[in-house]
Amino acid sequence: QLPLKVPVQLPNGISYEQPTGLFINGDFVPSRQHKTFEVLNPSSEEEITHIYEAREDDVDIAVAAAKKAFDAGWSTTEPEERVRCLLKLAELIEEHAETLASIESLDNGKSLFCSRGDVALVSKYLRSCAGWADKIFGKVIDTGADHFSYTKREPLGVCGQIIPWNFPLLMWSWKVGPALATGNTVVLKPAEATPLSALYACQLVQQAGIPKGVVNIIPGFGKIVGERICTHPDVKKVAFTGSTATGRHIMKTCADSIKKVTLELGGKSPNIVFGDADLDKAVKNIAFGIFYNSGEVCCAGSRIYVQDTVYEEVLEKFKQYAESLKVGNPFEENVFQGAQTSQMQIDKILSYVDVGTSEGARVVSGGKRIGNKGYFVTPTIFADVTEDMKIVKEEIFGPVVTVSKFTTVDEVVAKANDSEYGLAAGIHTGDVNKAIDVSNRVKAGTVWINTYNNFHQNVPFGGFGQSGIGREMGAEALDNYTQTKAVRMSI
């Protein structure tokens, strides 16, 4: 039988005890059927450990624990207590930051540079949620002298949360933080590829004094655990981050019981460089926009449009910059891009490289797998693409970018908006009027001007079109975890 904790030695010398159980009702427990699954290190393709695999019956037990915790008082607890718990959790995340970042690099393959950024945002975001937890306001509505009318914002109940593998701990915090701040309880399923940091963080949930059953984390597979979360009658909301195809399926499943659904889905985000931009800065931003986190970013700026007057110059600078980025062992300090997260991902990326080449796009840089152990691939730039190519239309979810030319503002706005997605857009220009004009006209939930992939815990993030429903971070995230009750009293 698998022990509930196993020793793990990280490549940077840190050793720690990895929880392997499901986190239900405040404790780590084996799954009911005692099934386990293997967790792989994508940099070496070697096993890190096995962990317990949840099944439908485990979901039912976790939901019952979450419902009991909700009814037993978390939903009506003093807001100050929720503030205290979330602040303590943020502090503990900070104390354990280097271990958490290292676990993330081991499990996901991302560079320590990326993992450290993730973990820093996790604690900032949990603090931001703590700040909201005692500021959930309704309003008084003037309905005349003979009635008193007001609204309250109440929690929803048990929230099912399903997260992907590209930002395992960050997504954990984007889901758990606002749910807890507003008095909900959660049953969360991490991605099967990257469950380790979520389980480690449950120890910090225990230490923060968050009551038993408020947070339940159950690793397992989407088609089993994810499905049961979506069909369970006591789950009142499902919050999902992942692919648009799975999001669509989840929305249909949740329709049967009219569950509230928020979806953070895919993208194919345009990143525009005008001729009047600071080109060196723009090149750094477009590179960061696509190669950060090995390109496994839902809002990656994967379609670059460069004004014709500076096209060749930007392309040359971009090639040089991309080729200067160090790719390799995520634990080496100056490595920018680590491994892709899974065999499936690297196969998908390399198949898109073949597709782009056969579609007639020009490979300016990269396009190759690195080594024969670990899922490493070179940053890849395709130029001279046309809008109808698959590599321009479809989300690749890797360090692969297309570059094409435009002449006028109207032309580039039309191209930028020619996508079913609408998660983000980037604009690089020295002309503030142009920046605002184009930001008004692009269809995207986030527009970055002279920057990219630049997040702040108080700025909402989410998609237009098929990139999703609802917003994360900022005050908007809290709205998605409350429902309005209207009270009207006759005087």
CA distance 481 to 159: 8
CB of 410 to ligand NAD, least distance (A): 29
From 18, 43, 123, 166, residue interacting with ligand NAD (rule: CB under 6 A) = 166
From 155, 195, 226, 445, residue interacting with ligand NAD (rule: CB under 6 A) = 226
By beta-carbon proximity to ligand NAD, the closer residue of 72 and 469 is 469
By beta-carbon proximity to ligand NAD, the closer residue of 86 and 339 is 339
Q: Does 213 bind ligand NAD (CB under 6 A)?
A: no
Q: Which stretch binds ligand NAD (CB under 6 A): 40-48, 67-75, 100-108, 243-251?
A: 243-251
From 109, 168, 222, 289, residue interacting with ligand NAD (rule: CB under 6 A) = 222
Q: Which stretch binds ligand NAD (CB under 6 A): 74-82, 157-165, 254-262, 469-477?
A: 157-165
From 189, 237, 259, 317, residue interacting with ligand NAD (rule: CB under 6 A) = 189
Q: Which stretch binds ligand NAD (CB under 6 A): 239-247, 277-285, 358-366, 478-486?
A: 239-247
The number of residues that bind ligand NAD (CB under 6 A) is 27
User: Of 53, 104, 192, 264, which one is the catalytic site residue?
Assistant: 264
CA distance 417 to 413: 6
From 156, 192, 406, 447, residue interacting with ligand NAD (rule: CB under 6 A) = 192
Q: Does 348 bind ligand NAD (CB under 6 A)?
A: yes
From 181, 250, 403, 444, residue interacting with ligand NAD (rule: CB under 6 A) = 250
- Kindly compute the dihedral angle of the four CA atoms of residues 197, 58, 88, 100, in this order, to the nearest 10 degrees: -10
By beta-carbon proximity to ligand NAD, the closer residue of 5 and 348 is 348
CB of 448 to ligand NAD, least distance (A): 17
Q: Per-residue b/e over 263-278, b at no fewer than 16 CB within 10 Å?
A: bbbbbbbbbbbbbebe
Q: Which stretch binds ligand NAD (CB under 6 A): 56-64, 147-155, 215-223, 307-315?
A: 215-223
CB of 356 to ligand NAD, least distance (A): 16
Q: Which stretch binds ligand NAD (CB under 6 A): 82-90, 104-112, 178-186, 241-249?
A: 241-249
Instruction: Give the 3-state secondary structure of the chain.
Output: CCCCEEEEECCCCCEEEEECCEEECCEEECCCCCCEEEEEECCCCEEEEEEECCCHHHHHHHHHHHHHHHHHCHHHCCHHHHHHHHHHHHHHHHHCHHHHHHHHHHHHCCCHHHHHHHHHHHHHHHHHHHHHHCCCCCCEECCCCCEEEEEEEEECCEEEEECCCCCHHHHHHHHHHHHHHCCCEEEEECCCCCCHHHHHHHHHHHHCCCCCCCEEECCCCHHHHHHHHHHCCCEEEEEEECCHHHHHHHHHHHHCCCCEEEEECCCCCEEEECCCCCHHHHHHHHHHHHHHHHHCCCCCCCEEEEEHHHHHHHHHHHHHHHHHCCECCCCCCCCCECCCCCHHHHHHHHHHHHHHHHCCCEEEECCCEECCCCCEECCEEEECCCCCCHHHHCCCCCCEEEEEEECCHHHHHHHHCCCCCCCEEEEECCCHHHHHHHHHHCCCCEEEECCCCCCCCCCCECCCHHHEECCECHHHHHHCCEEEEEEEEEC
Query: What amino acid is encoded at 42 in this protein?
Result: P
The 10 Å Cβ neighbour count of residue 181 is: 28
Q: Which stretch binds ligand NAD (CB under 6 A): 114-122, 173-181, 189-197, 355-363?
A: 189-197
By beta-carbon proximity to ligand NAD, the closer residue of 162 and 282 is 162
By beta-carbon proximity to ligand NAD, the closer residue of 69 and 163 is 163
CB of 304 to ligand NAD, least distance (A): 19
Q: Does 153 bind ligand NAD (CB under 6 A)?
A: no
Q: Which stretch binds ligand NAD (CB under 6 A): 180-188, 223-231, 282-290, 411-419?
A: 223-231
Q: Does 176 bind ligand NAD (CB under 6 A)?
A: no
CA 153 to chain CA centroid, nearest Å = 26
Q: Does 194 bind ligand NAD (CB under 6 A)?
A: no
Sites for ligand NAD among residues 260-289 (CB under 6 A): 265-266
Q: Does 339 bind ligand NAD (CB under 6 A)?
A: no
Sites for ligand NAD among residues 28-87 (CB under 6 A): none
From 298, 424, 438, 444, residue interacting with ligand NAD (rule: CB under 6 A) = 298
From 105, 108, 246, 329, residue interacting with ligand NAD (rule: CB under 6 A) = 246
Residues 474, 170, 424, 276, CA torsion sign? positive
What is the CB-side half-sphere exposure of residue 300 using CA atoms within 13 A? Answer: 25
By beta-carbon proximity to ligand NAD, the closer residue of 183 and 220 is 220
By beta-carbon proximity to ligand NAD, the closer residue of 5 and 249 is 249
What are the tokens at 280?
A: 């060196």
From 331, 397, 448, 461, residue interacting with ligand NAD (rule: CB under 6 A) = 397
CA distance 176 to 183: 11
Active site residue 264: yes
Q: Which residues bind ligand NAD (CB under 6 A)?
A: 162-166, 189, 191-192, 221-223, 226-227, 230, 241-243, 246, 249-250, 265-266, 298, 345, 348, 395, 397
Give me the active site residues, please: 264
